[in-house]
Amino acid sequence: MDLLRNRYNPQAFYDRSFNLLDQVGKGEAQSWYEHPCTQALLASLEGDLSGIVVMWLGGGYAEQESTAGTAQKQAKAIGMAQAIEDVINHIQEIRTAKESQE
């Protein structure tokens, strides 16, 4: 059971993340954020998020046969959108955290 507790301990992962970020300077963080790969990732994520909205507006998450099916599809879409927003927010938080440190 200790293995499970250690493996699935969110705080340990957050601590590791903060420790790694402590090794990065403000200039490095800014360069990483402005790097074309990071900007491409952000653009791709924003495109994915936009695609979910467009599909939703077009009825892509609706089912003719059942309201339960529609609810499941919409719940999945909401979950995907929230996950994408979380990643975008984490990228922004890394940049903001480094800017406020120095």
Kindly give the confidence (pLDDT) of every residue in the chain, 102 residues in length, as a single tens digit, with 9 standing for 90 and above. Answer: 555 566 788 888 888 888 888 898 888 988 999 999 999 999 999 999 999 999 999 999 999 889 999 999 999 999 999 999 999 999 998 888 877 775
- pLDDT on residue 100: 75
Do residues 45 and 33 touch, judged by C-beta distance below 8 A? no
Alpha-carbon torsion, ordered 94, 95, 96, 100, to 10 deg: 100
- pLDDT on residue 62: 93
Do residues 69 and 7 touch, judged by C-beta distance below 8 A? no
| Domain range summary for the chain, segments of one domain joined by + | 2-101
List own/partner pairs for 30-33 with CB under 8 A and 24 or more apart. 30/95, 30/98, 30/99, 32/94, 33/91, 33/94, 33/95
For the entire predicted model, the pTM comes to: 0.80
